[in-house]
Every structure is written in structure tokens, then in C-alpha cells.
Structure 1
Amino acid sequence: MNTGTDARAAWQTWREHRVTDISRPYGPLALTGTHWLADHPDGRIPGLPGRWDDDGDAVVLHATSADGLTADGAPLDGEIRLGPDAGPESARIAHGDRRLPVLRREGLWAVRDVDPAAPARRDFTGIDTYDHDPRWVVPGRFRPYGESRAVRVPNADGVRRELGLAGELTFTVDGAEHALQVAVEGDGSLWAVLADATSGTESYRFRFLRPPAPAADGTVIVDLNRTLLPPCAFADHFICPFPPPGNTLPFALRAGERNRSGA
């Protein structure tokens, strides 16, 4: 059985891992641009070499050796068809130390520019976080919907997009039951986009919560001390979804990450 000291030590380790992950060379702080090809019908993206064309089911990149691009680690001189990349670390296209992953959302293609020398990464000093408090560790229950739902919500770039939801996570704080609509990730863990009474004042305008996969009966421990900042808290070029209707908690959630240090 974990003691309070054990729980706090585990949380401190989690905090340290978060800072390491956020500040890695191709982490969120390194994103300097998300360029939608629909905004560049001639295929020319300011600041990016080559010509990037939307070809329906793929992006076609045309480049010469003078552009200095590499594809799968080799100099690119010609044409290559690209699908979505899993992330910047595995992006097929690079320009020096920069990685140029391809992204697809609701049928639209984009190219991201991820640069380890980004000012945001260079100037990063940490994450402001509320102190660990065992009262924010509560039992919860996940109740899946009969079938998945999708709601359109604003995103950080001002565009409304669909957010898939798989069920409802309920938990009790100070004697009152609360519910969050959640998605289920590939590994079975849950993902909630939420706001609370501190959002936009004491803390960032919204945050994420990622509880582990529930047990077979739906029970799951909800540790609100691990409430996360979304990627768009670290770089303006992410398209994080805002909370869906009903996911604003009516109390001050003084737990988890508050904001990027110095923000």
C-alpha cells in the first residue's frame, strides 16, 4: 500500500519526466509553425524549402538538391509522396536539424516545422504546478456510451473540429459527484479536456487529464494532481481542442500543472 510519502515521490518523478519530455529536442516547445496546404495553393510555404502540393490522399513534395531537404535521411532531388507522420521524431522530411512532419486533420493536409533551436525551447524555465495534495486522488468510474459520439468544439487555432468521445468519467469531490466526457486512447487509457473555476486566471484556459485504463468493472483512480497543460500552452501552433460542453468543473481545481513558467 502506498503511503502519502510514496505517492508524493511518484508524483515528483512524474513532474520531472514531464519537464524532460516537454523540453526534448523535438518536443512541443520546438514547434514553430503549422502550415495548412489549403492556405498555400501554389505549394510554396514561406520559410520552408521545396513545393508542397495536396494530391488528395497524399502530399507530394517537389525539391531539388539546392533546397537542402532530406527524405528518410538521404538528400532529396525530385518528387516524393508523403502520408501523415506519427510525430516529428519519425518525420520522413528534414532540413538540417529541423523536422517537417506531415499532418492530416478532417481531410486537410498540413506541414509542421519543428526546430530544436526554437526560442520557446531555448527560453523554457519549467512548468508552474500546484503542490501535491492527496485529497485530489479520488475513486472514479468510467461508463462507456452505447456507441462513440463526436461533438464539434473550437480549437486553439479558432477552427471548430470534431472531438471523439467514448464515455463518461464520474468521481466525487467534497461530497459532490462530477462527470467528464472522455475519449479512450489506443492503450485503453482515458483522455479528458476540461476547464474549472481557475481556468484563464490562476491556470491556463483549459487542461487535459489522462487517467489510466479502467478495470473491467469501470473503476479507475482519478489523480487530479496529474492534470496536464495541453501542447498549445507551450507553442501557439498546436490545434488543441477546447473542452466539450459539460466539461467545465464548477470548483477551483488547484491541482496539477498551472501554466508554463513565466507565462
Structure 2
Amino acid sequence: MSTSDARQRWKEWREERAEAASAPYGPLSLTGTYWLSELPEGRIPATPGRWTEAPDGAGVLLTASAGDGLTLDGRPFEGATVLTADAGPGPARVAHGERKLVVLCREGQWAVRVFDPAAPGRRAFAGIDAFEYDASWVLPGVFRPYDRDRTVAVENADGRTRGLGVAGELAFVKDGEEYALRVSAEADGSLWAVIADGTSGASSYRFRFLKPGVPDAEGRLTVDFNRALLPPCAFAEHFICPFPPPGNRLPFDVPAGERNLLAH
């Protein structure tokens, strides 16, 4: 692919990123993440119903009256039901007016997220600032899987320490030196990493995500730092993004990829 074609695809990617961020139920619309273990009465601020962990711990028990105005699967809801984790705000089963109430579970802990299209962050959004495209930051890489998946303890954006599953290392060469990033793997085989570099917290957000895709049969893939992207917690503080694990803080500047949000 020529540099001009790659730059054009990068511009299209940037447009898609901005469109997804500003969507009615995109990351900018998240207004709260509420852990049920911290809500002894089961009451979520400014949200009707009673939300508690199911007796068997396998879901969230929602109890509501007709006057609460909640809907379940698009229909008015009253009574009690057990909810399991939603895949996101789109398929979320419960809503209160335009707000989507998303059930999630992390390391056995249940929570409810509130997504509101009228969120202040969404109204203030003016785009995603990024470094200019630079072909020198498109590098060949190789994935070296561990003999078994590992878990490393890392601090998260909400101040808690959680386990981050890592499947191996992504190695690449820059200016004659080899570097290796700890990477996680999705169910489809695609890799992602949490990284920081010399620009982090200065000319770019404090850390970023890198999603190089699926390696080929020999473990080869392209590491394109032009597509380093802001983590969800850059869009709303209520996300619980993991910080970079040990070894993923690169000892040089990476002036490529997304930098920060732009606001009105």
C-alpha cells in the first residue's frame, strides 16, 4: 500500500472514531458506573428501581414498580427480574427514558452503567486531536505467545487494582533496537496492548491503547502507531481502563496516533 493510500485510510479511520465517540450511546454518554457492593440499599443516584446482586451471585436482581418508568426489552416493567451482563448500551435490556442502564460484571463484581445521550461530555465534544500521519511509525512486528495465558496485576483508572490477562509479547524494532510489549488477546485472536511513552501525560493522554489486529500463522503483523488510540476513560472518567502493565512504558516519544479530546 502506498503512503498516500495509507494516509487516506488513516483519515477515514479518524472520521469513524469521531463518529463512534459522538454517537448517542458512545463512550462520551457514560455518566456513571455503580458497583452494587457499594450500594447497600440498592439505589443508584437519580435512577429508579432497586438494584442488588441476585441471591446466587449470578446476576443483578432488579425490582421496580410501574411508577418507576423503567422499560425492559422495550416494554414497561414492574416486578422483579434477574439480569445478566449486557454486551453494551446498544443491546442493554433496561432503559429509563433515553438513558440506557447497562449491567456488567468484572472479576465477579456486578455493576450498572448509565449511558445518557444528554451527557455534558457528549455536548462539549469537538473531535479527537491526533499527531500527523507518519509512515515511519508503521513497523513490522511479531507476536510471541506465552506457553499459557498469564495475569498481571495493574492499577485501573478508578484506582482499583485488577488482573489483566496477557497472552504474549509483541516485538518490533525501532532505530535498530528491539522492544516488546505485553499484549492481550481477544476471542477472535486479535491483539491489543495498553502503552505509554515519552509523550504520555505531556503532549498526549497519560496512556493509550494499541490494536494491531490478528497475527498471521507465523505470528507476523503490522504495528501502526498512527492508530494508537485513546482509551475509553479519556472520554468519560467512569470507565475502568487498565493502566500499562510493567514493560509497556516505551523509553522514547511516540508522536503518532490520537492525543487528546477536543472540546467546545
**Correspondence for 2:184:** 183
Query: What is the distance in 2 between the residues matched to 1:121 and 1:69?
Result: 23
Query: What is the distance in 1 between the residues matched to 2:124 and 2:51?
Result: 31
* TM-score, normalisation: structure 1: 0.98
**Correspondence for 1:203:** 204
**Correspondence for 2:28:** 29
Question: Which amino acid letter does the alignment assign opposite residue 148 of structure 1?
Answer: D
Residue-pair matches, total: 262
How far the C-alpha of 1:226 sits from its partner, in A, is: 0.2
**Correspondence for 2:9:** 10
Query: What is the distance in 1 between the residues matched to 2:263 and 2:96?
Result: 31
Query: What is the distance in 1 between the residues matched to 2:34 and 2:222?
Result: 39
Q: Which runs of 4+ in 1 moved over 4 A?
A: none
* 1:74-223 alignment, distance < 5 Å: 74-223=75-224
Query: What is the distance in 1 between the residues matched to 2:104 and 2:27?
Result: 15
* TM-score, normalisation: structure 2: 0.98
**Correspondence for 1:38:** 37
Q: What's the secondary structure of 2:136's corresponding residue?
A: helix
Query: What is the distance in 1 between the residues matched to 2:163 and 2:27?
Result: 22
Q: What's the secondary structure of 1:25's corresponding residue?
A: coil
Question: Any stretches of 5+ residues in structure 2 without a counterpart?
Answer: none
Q: Retained in 1: the 8 A contact 2:53–2:60?
A: yes
Question: Which amino acid letter does the alignment assign opposite residue 189 of structure 1?
Answer: S
* 1:247-262 alignment, distance < 5 Å: 247-262=248-263
Query: What is the distance in 2 between the residues matched to 1:108 and 1:27?
Result: 23
Query: What is the distance in 2 between the residues matched to 1:195 and 1:212?
Result: 19
Q: What's the secondary structure of 2:133's corresponding residue?
A: coil
Question: Which amino acid letter does the alignment assign opposite residue 199 of structure 1?
Answer: S
How far the C-alpha of 1:262 sits from its partner, in A, is: 4.2
Query: What is the distance in 1 between the residues matched to 2:255 and 2:261?
Result: 15
Instruction: Give the RMSD, CA atoms, in angstroms.
Output: 0.9
Query: What is the distance in 1 between the residues matched to 2:45 and 2:16?
Result: 35
Question: Which amino acid letter does the alignment assign opposite residue 110 of structure 1?
Answer: A
Deviations 1:53-96 (A, max 9, x none): 11211110000111000001110111111000000110000001
How far the C-alpha of 1:45 sits from its partner, in A, is: 1.6
Q: What's the secondary structure of 2:148's corresponding residue?
A: strand
Question: Any stretches of 5+ residues in structure 1 without a counterpart?
Answer: none
